[in-house]
Every structure is written in structure tokens, then in C-alpha cells.
Amino acid sequence: MTIITSNMYLGADNPGIKTGIDVLKNESVLPDGTLFTNPVTSHGITRTKKMKYYFEILDHLKEIHQSYIAHSEKGEKNILIGGDHSIAIASGVHSLENYDNLGVVWVDAHADINTNDITNSGNVHGMSVAALLGLGDDGLVNFVPRTKYLKPENVVYIGLRDVEPEEQALLDKLRIKHYTADEVMSLGIETVMKESIAHLKAQKVKNLHLSYDLDSADPTLVPGVTTDVPNGLDLKQTLYIFRQLHKAFNVVAFDLVEFNPEKDVDNQTVDFIKQIMPDVLK
Ligand SMILES: NC(=[NH2+])NCCC[C@H](N)C(=O)O
């Protein structure tokens, strides 16, 4: 297992995220052997087209990607602990390079399928899925030259509840399977997982990249995130998602992202992370 951490915060344009990895280190959440990427720095706010901190983010994506190439053995599980969700572009590309017909389950309040053309915020953490699909700015999409893109039919979202209209239009156009948090509540997490797994199996997915954004959880339970949205998932639903996916697929990569200690309340988010960690590391 290769565990890489990143304190990337520029993709969310929020410095509160910067110290997340230090907090997790001090709380003994990170196992021995965890690798640390160079601390991210900004050269001051810049925009390339509409994207903020584009060059700093690209450099960091390359560093994470290189680190996987240097340390990860084929077949082992890769864990990426962040840091904002932009870093999943690096882990995702690495998974796509190593596994044909990769499946992705994106557990998140947000669809992260913005592109340079449609983004309102300019924040790159809202563009990760788009980049993996091969959509958006070429530099972000091909931060390392590649030919393998994620197939829209191999993606399932769980927990959505803050999707911009242009993003929804893309989800509909690409016919990407997605479950909102409301649907999780009304259908039940058991049904959602049964259908999600059946959908991916129908695409013949065997290897899965699980990208978990802490803001999928309810902010009363997990307040320490940058872009919190009410009415999210609870711990039991979250663990159920992880366990069903580990049972059904070969989980080749796991991202745990968006911890923002500045917004945490009474260490609730740290405690939540401690409770999910055994399943992350499974
Ligand atoms: N992974 C996240 N927390 N993404 C938040 C994205 C929010 C918003 N849709 C944006 O593009 O700016």
C-alpha cells in the first residue's frame, strides 16, 4: 500500500486546508511509511484563463503522479490523503494508466465536473472529474500526456446536493449515473449501493478508484470542510458505501480529501476521520 499526503489548498482557494495533514499527523491518524509531498506554496493569486493557481496546481499534480510512479508497485492499493479534491486528478490519472476499464465512485456533495469554460468559481477542485473524463483545459487534462480517459458510463456519484446547472447539463448529456443525498435518504443506502454496483458490473468494471470527499457527510457531523452543504450522509451510510465497494470490486485507489481543520468544531472531523480510517486502509 502506498500512502501519499498532500496539503494542496489552492484548488479550493482556501488556506484553512493547508494544515490538515499536520493535524492528522499529530493526531496519529497517518500510518508509518506515509509519504509527504512538498508543501504547496502560491506565487500569489493568478488566473490562467478562468482557473486559479493553475501552474502551482499542475506542478503539484505532477509531483503526486511522479511519487506514485516511484513508490507504488503494480497491484497494490494507492491512498491519497488531502488536501483539496483537485489532487484526485493525479491519483485518478495514475489509476487510469494502470487499469483498463477503471471504475470510479465519487462520493461527494459536488459533481466536480466543471471546466474552464463553465466554472463560476475558477476553483480547480470543482474540475477533477471533468479532467479525468478528458474534458476541459488541455493542460489540466493532460498534465501528463496520456491517452486513457475515464468512461462516463464507468462513473457513479453518491451524495450530490450542490450541482451547478451547467454541471447538471453535463451529467445528463453524458448520462452519468448519480445519486443525490436526498435519493440516498429516500431509496436507502442499501438500494443505492446495489444499483451502483450492478451498474458498474454491467460495464464489466473490476478495478475501482474510490474518491471520497469529506463534504459528502453531513456538516453537523463533519464540519471541517471548506464547501459544506447541509443534509449529507452519516457515518453508517459512509461505511456501508466503503464496505460494499470493497466487497464488490478490487479497490485500487482511495482518495480522502477536503479536510479543513480551521472549520472543524470540537475535533468532530478528526474523530470522524479516525472512525473511517480502518476502512480507508483496508
Ligand atoms: N470537491 C469540492 N469540494 N468541490 C467543490 C466545488 C464547488 C463548486 N461547484 C465549484 O466548482 O467551485
The ranges assigned to domains in the chain are: 2-280
Whose Cα sits closest to atom 10 in ligand 1?
A: 126
* Residue 189, SS3 per DSSP: helix
CA distance 84 to 42: 15
pLDDT tens, 51-105? 999 999 999 999 999 999 999 998 999 999 999 999 999 999 999 999 999 999 9
Enter the C-alpha cell of residue 14: 482556501
**pLDDT value, residue 161:** 98
Tell me which residues are annotated as active site. Answer: 85, 108, 110, 112, 125, 213, 215, 258
Angle at the Cα of 129 (from 238 to 162), degrees rounded to 5?
A: 60
- Residues 2-280: name the CATH superfamily: Ureohydrolase domain (3.40.800.10)
**Most informative mutation of 125, 129, 135 for ligand 1 (most atoms within 8 A of CB):** 125
User: Can you tell me whether residue 109 is helix, strand or coil?
Assistant: coil
- The Å distance, Cα 269 to ligand 1 centre, comes to 19
Ligand 1, residue 121: give the atom nearest the CA: 12
Residues having CB closer than 6 A to ligand 1 are 85, 108, 110, 112, 114, 119, 121, 123, 125-126, 164, 213, 215, 227, 258
C-alpha 227 to ligand 1 mean position (Å) = 7
pLDDT of residue 103: 98
CA of 102 to the centre of ligand 1 (A): 23
Closest Cα to atom 4 of ligand 1: 126
Contacts of 164 (CB under 8 A, 6+ apart): 111, 114, 118, 120
Residue 134 three-state SS: coil
> How much is the ipTM here?
0.98
How far does the centroid of ligand 1 lie from the alpha carbon of residue 107, in Å?
Answer: 13
Per DSSP, helices labelled H in 99-249 are 128-133, 138-141, 165-173, 181-187, 189-202, 235-248
Q: End-to-end distance of the chain based on CA atoms, in angstroms? A: 10
CA–centroid distance, 128 to ligand 1, in Å, is: 9
Q: Other C-beta atoms within 10 Å of 34: how many?
A: 16
pLDDT at 245: 98
pLDDT value, residue 219: 98
pLDDT at site 46: 85
Q: Quick check: 72 and 78 in contact, CB under 8 A?
A: yes
Closest ligand 1 atom to Cα of 226:
3
Cis peptide leading into residue 83 (ω within 30°)? yes
Question: Which regions of the chain are under pLDDT 70?
Answer: none
- Amino acid 198: pLDDT: 98
Residue owning the nearest CA to atom 7 of ligand 1 = 126
